[in-house]
C-alpha cells in the first residue's frame, strides 16, 4: 500500500497546472460565453431590438396597426413604464420591470403591406440592418409562415402575431417560430356545437374562401367540423385576397341550393363580403324551408365594428375578448384603454402577449442565446394573460388554451359592445395530436445571420 505524501514543491506544481488548465479551458464552459455564436447578440451590440413586422397597409391593415399598439405597450411595460399591465398578473413571472436582463428594450417597426414577399423583406431588413434579436407580428398566415421560415434560416426567434392557418404550427412549423394565437382546427372544434344548437344538423353550406393558406385550412377545418354534424357542403369557392366587390361571388349563392353561407374571410375582406351578402338579401331569404344563415368562423372586434349592422347575430370564434372577467383581461383592457382610448382587439392582445412571453423567456433562460430561450418557451405553462391556464406545447410550438365562441351583439350598449361571448371551449377540448398536421421543427442550433 502506497502512502500519499504532499510536499511543498508538489503542491505548487499541482496548483500551477490547475491554474493553467483553467485559463486554457474553452470559453463555452462559462455561462454566456456563447455570445459570439448567434445572430444580433445584444451583449455584443449593446442594444436589445425587437422587430415588429405588421401590415400597416392592405387588406389587414387595421388589425396590423392595432397589433403594433399592443407591441408598443408591451415594450413600455417591459421597460418599467406605465402601470405594468399584464406583468401584474402573469404567473410565473421572471421579468422585473427593468427591461430584459437589466437592459432596456428598443424596437423597430415595418409594414408588411399584407403581402408575403414584403413581410419577408421587412423581417430580413430588421435582422440584417436593425439588429433585431426577435421578430414578431403578422396578420396573414402567409406572412407568418414566410417570416418564420426566414427566422429559422437566420437563427432569430419569431413570435407569430395573428396567424390562424393549421400549417403555421403544422406542416410549416419551425423550431424558431412560436404561435400564441389559436388555429382553424380549434375554431372548427369550438364552433361546431354552437352551429348545431343554433341552426340544426340538416344544413347545406356554401363556402367563400380567401385564396391562401389560412383560407384553405380554415375551409377544410370548418368543412370537416360541419360535415361531422351532418351538414352537406354544396360548394367551396375561392376568392382573391383583397377583393373589394364580392357581387360576382355572391350572386351564384342565391340559386345554389345552400341555406348557409360560410365566409372564410378576415379583415377588410370580411368587412366587405359580410355587408354585401346581407345587402344581397341572403339573411332575409328562406332556403330548403329554413332561414338562410351566414357564419364567419373567425372574426374580431375590429371586423365587427367595420361590418356594422351586418354583424348582428353572426356566430364565429375568437382568441380573446376585452370583456372577459379575469384579472389579466381587466389589467390589459385598462392599460390599453388609458393609452389609446379604445378597448384592445385580439390582435393587440396577441402582439402584447407574444412580446411579454419572449422577454420573460429570456429572463428565465438568463441569456439571449436562442436555443436556451426556445427551451424556456417549450412546454412553458403560464396563466394570467387573459386566456386562462395556457401551455406552449413543445412538440409544435402551438399555445393551448380556451377558445371563445362569439356572436354579433343584437343590442349593443356602446360602440365597443359589438360582440358577445356565447361559449368557451376548454383547453382539453381543443387539444389535438400534433402528428395530424405533420411538419418538422428542425434543429435548435442557430445559423449565423
Partner 1 sequence: MNAFLAQLLNGLDKGGAYALIALGLTLVFGTLGVVNFAHGALFMLGCFMAVTFRYLITIEKVTTDPTQLSPWGQPLEVRAPIVQDWLGDFGLFLVDYSVPFSILLTIPVMLAIGIGMERGLIKHFYKRTHAEQILVTFGLAIVIGEIVKSIYGPNPWPQPIPSDLRSAADIGRWLGMEPNTLTYPWWRMIYLMFSLGVIAAVFAFLRFTTFGMVVRAGMADREAVGLLGINIDKRFTVVFGLAAVVAGVAGAMYTPLLPPNYQIGMDFLVLSFVVVVVGGMGSLPGAVLAGFLLGILQSFASMTEVKSLIPGIDQVIIYLVAVVILLVRPRGLMGRRGVMEG
Which helix (DSSP H) or strand (DSSP E) does residue 78 occupy? helix 61-78
Of 349, 373, 376, nearest to 156 by C-alpha is 373
Smallest separation, CB 143 to partner 1 (Å): 17
- The site string for partner 1 over 398-437 (x = CB under 8 A, - otherwise) reads ----------------x-x---------------------
Under rule CB under 8 A, which residues in 267-286 are in contact with partner 1? 268, 271-272, 275-276, 278-281, 284-286
- The site string for partner 1 over 132-151 (x = CB under 8 A, - otherwise) reads --------------------
Cis peptide before 329 (omega within 30 of 0): no
Of 217, 238, 230, nearest to 436 by C-alpha is 217
Residue among 58 and 131 whose Cβ is closer to partner 1: 58
> Total residues at the site for partner 1 (CB under 8 A)?
44
Give the strand pairing for 390-392 and 380-382.
Answer: antiparallel
Smallest separation, CB 343 to partner 1 (Å): 5
Under rule CB under 8 A, which residues in 57-76 are in contact with partner 1? 57-58, 61-62
Position 237 contacts partner 1 (CB under 8 A): yes
Cα dihedral value 184, 188, 189, 192, nearest 10: 160
Position 364 contacts partner 1 (CB under 8 A): no
Residue among 7 and 247 whose Cβ is closer to partner 1: 247
Smallest separation, CB 275 to partner 1 (Å): 8
Give the count of beta carbons closer than 10 Å to the beta carbon of residue 284. 9
Position 229 contacts partner 1 (CB under 8 A): no
Smallest separation, CB 445 to partner 1 (Å): 41
Q: Is 392:379 a contact under the CB 8 Å cutoff?
A: yes
- Tell me the backbone φ, ψ of residue 380, rounded to 5 degrees: -75, 130
Cα dihedral value 328, 329, 330, 334, nearest 10: 110
Q: Name the segment binding partner 1 (CB under 8 A); options: 41-49, 92-100, 146-154, 332-340.
A: 332-340
Position 343 contacts partner 1 (CB under 8 A): yes
Give the count of beta carbons closer than 10 Å to the beta carbon of residue 395. 14
* Complete DSSP assignment for 368-434: --HHHHHHHHTTEEEB-SSSSSEEE-TTT-BEE--EEEEEE-SS-SSTT--EEEEEEE-TTTT---G
Residues 244, 313, 438, 443: which binds partner 1 (CB under 8 A)? 244
Position 245 contacts partner 1 (CB under 8 A): yes
Smallest separation, CB 188 to partner 1 (Å): 24
Positions touching partner 1 (CB under 8 A) are 56-58, 61-62, 235, 237, 244-245, 247-249, 251-252, 254-256, 268, 271-272, 275-276, 278-281, 284-286, 306, 308-309, 322-323, 333-338, 341, 343, 414, 416
Amino acid at each position: 500500500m502506497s502512502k500519499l505524501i504532499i510536499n511543498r514543491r508538489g503542491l505548487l506544481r499541482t496548483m500551477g497546472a490547475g491554474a493553467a488548465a483553467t485559463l486554457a479551458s474553452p470559453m463555452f464552459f462559462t455561462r454566456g460565453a456563447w455570445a459570439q455564436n448567434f445572430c444580433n447578440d445584444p451583449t455584443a451590440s449593446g442594444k436589445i431590438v425587437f422587430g415588429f413586422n405588421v401590415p400597416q397597409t392592405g387588406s389587414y391593415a387595421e388589425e396590423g396597426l392595432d397589433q403594433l399598439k399592443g407591441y408598443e405597450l408591451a415594450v413600455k411595460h417591459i421597460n418599467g413604464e406605465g402601470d405594468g399591465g399584464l406583468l401584474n398578473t402573469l404567473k410565473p413571472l421572471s421579468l422585473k420591470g427593468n427591461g430584459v436582463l437589466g437592459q432596456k428594450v428598443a424596437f423597430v417597426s415595418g409594414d408588411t403591406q399584407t403581402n408575403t414577399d414584403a413581410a419577408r423583406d421587412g423581417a430580413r431588413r430588421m435582422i440584417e440592418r436593425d439588429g433585431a434579436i426577435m421578430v414578431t407580428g403578422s396578420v396573414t398566415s402567409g406572412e407568418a409562415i414566410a417570416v418564420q421560415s426566414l427566422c429559422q434560416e437566420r437563427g432569430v426567434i419569431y413570435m407569430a402575431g395573428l396567424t390562424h392557418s393549421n400549417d403555421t404550427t403544422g406542416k410549416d412549423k419551425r423550431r424558431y417560430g412560436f404561435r400564441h394565437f389559436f388555429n382553424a382546427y380549434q375554431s372548427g372544434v369550438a364552433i361546431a356545437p354552437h352551429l348545431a344548437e343554433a341552426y340544426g344538423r340538416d344544413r347545406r353550406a356554401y363556402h367563400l374562401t380567401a385564396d391562401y393558406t389560412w383560407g384553405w385550412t380554415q375551409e377544410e377545418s370548418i368543412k370537416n367540423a360541419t360535415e361531422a354534424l351532418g351538414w352537406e357542403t354544396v360548394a367551396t369557392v375561392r376568392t382573391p385576397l383583397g377583393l373589394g366587390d364580392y357581387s360576382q361571388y355572391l350572386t351564384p349563392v342565391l340559386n345554389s341550393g345552400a341555406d348557409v353561407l360560410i365566409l372564410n374571410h378576415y379583415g377588410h375582406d370580411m368587412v366587405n363580403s359580410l355587408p354585401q351578402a346581407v345587402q344581397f338579401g341572403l339573411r332575409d331569404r328562406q332556403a330548403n324551408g329554413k332561414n338562410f344563415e351566414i357564419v364567419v368562423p373567425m372574426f374580431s372586434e375590429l371586423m365587427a365594428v367595420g361590418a356594422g349592422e351586418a354583424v348582428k347575430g353572426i356566430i364565429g370564434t375568437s382568441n380573446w375578448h376585452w370583456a372577459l372577467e379575469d384579472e389579466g383581461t381587466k389589467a390589459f383592457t385598462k392599460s390599453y384603454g388609458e393609452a389609446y382610448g379604445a378597448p384592445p382587439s385580439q390582435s393587440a392582445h396577441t402582439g402584447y402577449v407574444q412580446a411579454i412571453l419572449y422577454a420573460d423567456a429570456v429572463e428565465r433562460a438568463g441569456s439571449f442565446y436562442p436555443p436556451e430561450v426556445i427551451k424556456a418557451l417549450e412546454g412553458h405553462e403560464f396563466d394570467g394573460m387573459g386566456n386562462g391556464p395556457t401551455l406552449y406545447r413543445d412538440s409544435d410550438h402551438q399555445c393551448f388554451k380556451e377558445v371563445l365562441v362569439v356572436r354579433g351583439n343584437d343590442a349593443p350598449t356602446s360602440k365597443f359592445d359589438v360582440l358577445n361571448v356565447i361559449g368557451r371551449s376548454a383547453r382539453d377540448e381543443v387539444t389535438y395530436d400534433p402528428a395530424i398536421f405533420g411538419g418538422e421543427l428542425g434543429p435548435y442550433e442557430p445559423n449565423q445571420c
